[in-house]
Structure 1
Amino acid sequence: MTDVLGYAGKRVIVTGCFSGMGEATAKLLIDLGAEVHGFDYKACDLPLASFTQVDLRDPASIEAGVAGLGGGRIDALFNCAGLPNGSFDPMDVMKVNFIGLRHLTELVLPLMGEGSAIANIASTGGLGWSRNIPTNMEFVTTKGWQAAVDWCTAHAEDAVKEGYAFSKENVIVWTQFMGAHLIKKGIRINCTLPSPTQTPMMADFHKNSGKDVVDAAAEPLGRYSTPYEQAAPLVWLNSPFATIVNGVVLPVDGGFMGGIPTGQIDLSKMMRRAAS
């Protein structure tokens, strides 16, 4: 593949490279000539520069994974790992989807320099962030792993709940918060809001959210996206083609976000489920 995005020889990390969006992102980066280092809980058989088994629920595992890279510059970080709603303990969901993501990013940042970039995967499931900014900001500005875990324990019923929506809200808010700080060092950070995507986690979303709700979030596209369709915007966000795109929450949803304020989306099914 022609290196139009400037990834040839670039050293990158992809979490969640075993399957879904993370696997698609890693494949695309390999095709573009990047040196791809994969982190996941499950072994990955892609032709990576290295693979490290990392458990994002365990800070020691994250720290060992980053240390195992042996230093050297990291040009781009793709935080693609995640857990779905309802099928896992809420604290595990919070750790994988946000606390572990943040901890890993903070460890990688000293290896990044001017021109490097970070792309996080959030979700349309985190759209409640705009109503919860004071709570989100209180949480995302906690210092360190244990403080974040303690905050979640104290707010298990009123904020965390099942874990998924709140974790994704915080990916969104933290991305925006960090954007204003990191850009001063020449480092960019952005996140995407994928529409429902045909990955191995889809069965969990159907079971726990209801297929009608998931299908409603796939309008007006009228189908689920593919992992590649989600990977390509992530790769673009971290490329030199997006040099001042920073702190952005990018919908990658076939028009869902645009359809909400313009009355093109019927949210009644989603609202009924949220109220039940």
Structure 2
Amino acid sequence: MPDPTRFQGKVAIVTGAARGIGAACARRFASEGGSVLCVDLLEEVKDFAASIGGVGLCLSVAERGAGERIAQAALTAFGRIDILVNNAGVGGSKRLELSSDELIDRIIDIDLSAMLRVTRDVMAHMTRPGGRIVNVSSLFGLVGYPGTTAYSAAKGGVAHFTRQLAGELAPEGILVNAVAPGVVATSMTEDFLKNERYQRLMVQPTPVGRVGTPEEQAAVICFLASDEASFVAGAVIPTDGGYTAARHLPND
């Protein structure tokens, strides 16, 4: 059950916060006493943020200077930054031979390079000690899956970026970790979940036997962002219903 005081006095920034995992994280931070800056390319982020008592900032994390704009928005609204959840990302990857330069650049930039730039600019303003950075990688950043080359490469980069940055920032009192979601019911996966082949390859082999929810991802992310995770650094936790541990054979 949510603890209404767990993030009392803390300020969290969540990117990709208008929908899906990001919205679930922002909602949980707010329900547990935190102040939240919700960042998203979608204009609806402002209304969503207002609905949970937060502040919305509409911009693309891929814009140059986005990190400093995000940091200043949080400092102006709340006076401090304790938590950064790097959730913004895009899909649409293809097999490498079908990937144009534009597609590769877009996915690598939004899913990986922008995360580095935003984190670099925001972490300069974070609470020390006590800061928390939680990155959203992917199941496909841990294991390969045909047809997702650029996306898998970017999310694999997120996983190793997490380990690298954890080693650099832990001595300063900022803990960096990540989650690697499996199949989660969001607008990004909506069309995939209607595909019978995808169900056989991704959902049926999952030991838990179902698709995950954004709220289940948010629960782990918020744990990593909390004081309870005070001895966790550089972890990339598969939040995938067991898919990376032991895949089941699809149903006949």
TM-score range, shorter chain: 0.7 to 0.9
Deviations 1:90-122 (A, max 9, x none): 211111111111111111111112111111111
8 A Cα contact 2:181 2:217, kept in partner: yes
CA distance in 1, matches of 2:61, 2:185: 23
Structure 1: stretches of 5+ with no match in the other structure: 130-160, 268-276
Per residue, is there more helix in 1 or in 2? 1
Change (3 A) 1:101 1:205: farther
Post-superposition shift, 1:57?
Answer: 2.1
Partner of 2:248: 265
Partner of 1:145: none
Change (3 A) 1:256 1:35: same
Partner of 2:93: 86
**What SS class does the counterpart of residue 73 from structure 1 fall into?**
coil
**What SS class does the counterpart of residue 85 from structure 2 fall into?**
strand
Out of 213, 236, 246, the position equivalent to 2:201 is 213
8 A Cα contact 2:112 2:155, kept in partner: yes
CA distance in 2, matches of 1:228, 1:243: 22
Q: Does residue 165 of the first structure (1) align with residue 152 of the second (2)? A: yes
Post-superposition shift, 1:73?
Answer: 2.5
Q: Does residue 65 of the first structure (1) align with residue 70 of the second (2)? A: yes
Q: Match of 1:91, as an amino acid?
A: D
CA distance in 2, matches of 1:68, 1:230: 26
Aligned length: 230
8 A Cα contact 1:190 1:248, kept in partner: yes
Partner of 1:274: none
Deviations 1:207-245 (A, max 9, x none): 7x944333256x111110011011110000010001010
Out of 247, 250, 253, the position equivalent to 2:240 is 253
Partner of 1:50: 55
Partner of 1:137: none
8 A Cα contact 1:85 1:205, kept in partner: no
Deviations 1:134-164 (A, max 9, x none): xxxxxxxxxxxxxxxxxxxxxxxxxxx8421
Change (3 A) 1:183 1:211: same
8 A Cα contact 2:129 2:172, kept in partner: yes
Partner of 2:129: 114
8 A Cα contact 1:121 1:194, kept in partner: yes
Report % sequence identity.
28
CA distance in 2, matches of 1:221, 1:16: 27
8 A Cα contact 2:24 2:215, kept in partner: yes
Structure 2: stretches of 5+ with no match in the other structure: 95-101
| TM-score, normalised relative to structure 1 | 0.76
**What SS class does the counterpart of residue 22 from structure 2 fall into?**
helix
Post-superposition shift, 1:265?
Answer: 3.5
Q: Does residue 124 of the first structure (1) align with residue 107 of the second (2)? A: no
Computed over aligned residues only, the root mean square deviation of the Cα atoms, in angstroms, reads 2.4
| TM-score, normalised relative to structure 2 | 0.83
CA distance in 2, matches of 1:23, 1:214: 24
Q: Match of 1:96, as an amino acid?
A: I
CA distance in 1, matches of 2:170, 2:153: 26
8 A Cα contact 1:182 1:188, kept in partner: yes
**What SS class does the counterpart of residue 193 from structure 1 fall into?**
strand
Q: Does residue 199 of the first structure (1) align with residue 214 of the second (2)? A: no
Deviations 1:150-202 (A, max 9, x none): xxxxxxxxxxx842100100000010111111101010000001110000000
